[in-house]
Structure 1
Amino acid sequence: MNVNEPMLPPVRGLVDREGRLVQADQRLMDLNIRAGGGIGQPIAIPQIANLARLAQRLGILVSRGVVAADGDDDVELWVRAEPEKAGVRLMITGWRSRAAWYPEAAQGEREGDFLRSAGDWSWETDSALRITFLSISAGAKHGFDSASMLGQPLTRLFALGEDQEGSFPILGGLAMHQRFDGQNATIRATGRTVRLSATPRTDAAGVFAGFIGAAHMIEDAPLVTPQPEASPEDLTDAFAARLDQALRSPLGRIIANADSINAQSEGPLRQDYADYAADIASAGRHLMGLVDDLVDLQAIERPDFVVAQEPVDMADVARRAAGLLGVRASEAQVRIDKPAPQDMLSATGEFRRALQVLVNLIGNAVRYSPREGMVWIRTERENGIAAVIVADQGKGIALEDQARIFEKFERVDPREPGGSGLGLYIARKLARAMGGDVTVDSAPGQGARFVFTLPYRD
């Protein structure tokens, strides 16, 4: 097959959770058969199989160009792998055949090859700085298990440090999507000092898709005491502040431009390109949410953090939070049953922080509710306590996981699409700072019931 066919309709398929190709359009089915596979068998095209596994492990959409063997030729494919309940949904475009040997590598890939050759070991991330590749296979030498790091934030592996000018080179590289060098870091598991460098890579549409990087071991640096495993993601105040400054503005531009492309405001556009723009905007919003969470985390963990003590109508706050999430609930086909307009429940706290807690709790309830499901919001008063209950019809939370979900960067199932793992930690810290609490009552298959309390105010 030596014909370029980039304008043909997208080719679709489905890989189940065990990695078997269970549905496929004819072109994908034929390619898979030529690779030695078949329907109902593990997908035989390694590049697509790897992307499907990565998407399922991270719980996010992964969109990337790959080159697969097809007889005596290679075929270039743009593969979009999106996890869902049944497995990973595939959409393949840009089907293009070429000679098996390709003399010119992309500039970013060439620079990545130079970095790999110069470093002691190499790493790669996606655009959200989640680790997608580590070149080392054994953890004994470096003090960590490389397999367990895949899909984790880069900051779970490294504690990043300032350079001599008080800057973080990685932030400049991330904000400008350019190469960075000389990022000081320590391996959290051992305290060994390393220096990181990386070059950006882009997808077929020229959009930033992550970093190809190298780690240079600093042999003569003194070992420091390893950081405790219980809190491996603690970031310094300086890092969080610079992260906010470096990312908020460019992320805002990326989201606005991607939304504009998706809306086709400048004229008609191929639908798959418009869909890619929607994916970019969604990823940008996810990153913006992470930045917001990190800024909040920095604030609430300062020793001088205080909240206002003012009159708060918990029923009114609950109605406002439900209103803010109305569009998201509608898109998810979930109905929110909020307190009646005449309901009131006086409490003492800070209005802005109480709203933040309830937006998090109701947002989680919407996210984990089934389609056509419902989220109930009720208010109660008992023995000097004002409470808002948020209940959903999701799959529930096992007893052994109910304490863990309130810890930093923890989620019940990291493979599921979701937030940063900071929301519930921040919500409980805010509630307790106001003299209240956030608790959960749940069981598998019975949904979840989160209770946000504040002191009652006469």
Structure 2
Amino acid sequence: MTAPIHGRLDRDFHLVEADAALEGLHLRAGGAAGGVIAVPQIATIARLARRLGIVVSRGVIAADEDADLELWVRAEPAGEGVAIAIAGWAERPAASAFPATTIDREHDFIRASADWLWETDEALKLTALSPGVVASRESMLGQPLTKLVTLAENDSGILPILDAIATQRRFDDQEGELRDGGGLVRLSAVPIFDAAGRFAGFRGAAVGLALSPSPALAAAPGDGVDTDAAQADAFGRRLDAALRQPLDRIISGAEHIRAQVDGPLRRDYANYAADIAAAGRHLLALVDDLVDLQAIERPDFAPAIERLDLVDVTRRAAGLLGVKAADADVRIDRPASDEALPAQGDFRRALQVLVNIIGNAVRHSPAGGSVWLRCERQGQYAVVTVADQGRGIDPADHARIFEKFERLQPGDGAGTGVGLYIARRLARAMGGDLTVESAPGQGARFIFTLPAV
């Protein structure tokens, strides 16, 4: 077929409009008329396009009874749904024993020791990025890789990634520096190819060079270096890397099953997958907290102080929690777009504090309730107040909630017990503070302050 084949998916990825060829393929794949798209390859591309908010074009091979179809699928977000256009619809004999590619095995190898993962299209624009690499991961997707990392030449004066593009091979030694001051990294990647064998981008991993043995770890006792602290720091980072990747894969796999990307699934199985994903996220949050805990308790811990707009940070934190609040039927009343509140602090750490206390407010607010965010200057301090309509906190427990591993309601299944401890330590390290005003039945008001500019 030479003419493009079109279809449209609604917000729940139901195939609500389709040309005859696409409708037939959907039905032969086990889908129902008007049901969730049953062709896994098309579903995956559609979900990626809507998640990233950009057009995604990929070559795929889809099974169709006794044959395989080579398709070039273009998915474009359209309102709350996704518009599908398929070109190059070509049939070929089914091949159940294609030679196994080494690409996936190579990617599994390089990601095993990675700190974070990334993926690009053929123009080296980011299509995937691990959470936590930058403050606003969503704004980085669709941007060139070089906007995330400043690439460095090797000893021969070349960029390994450019040589890899020219030869369409794997590379392991591209060094660079995160542009947000996140430090030096080494990038590795394997090439991605479309169904026609054309280069379609890179799937890669990154390792922070600080994780390599440092002079502090190699120093002999008595030379003035705190080797115990350095070794504890290195151990914490290795533990983070060792746990994060398996948990990411568990969560990703469970969400893939829960979303029924590969076709309809029994409801109880989908619910089991949702439970697995939720448990994985809880463990991942615990890993994050333990790594942060280890970092902030080091005697040489010092946030990077810079000028920032605390209102902007507050709005960003609220935006990151928008989906969570909507799922809980809680409204976040955020500052107006024309407000500003200059302050001094570490942007990433201030965002971390606000995500913690706003997330707590959402979690403890009743369905139909509201969380209010107010920003103002009080003397020499910029102040953010986060108020909720939860059950409140007894004054006798105000000091206790900021202690390590303390949870007032251990049976509520939420939190790790160190979030507020970390948040207060961060606030004070930036020259501010985090306090609470509350009483039973009257909700809670958390007050975060930073030095005003």
TM-score, length-scaled by structure 1: 0.48
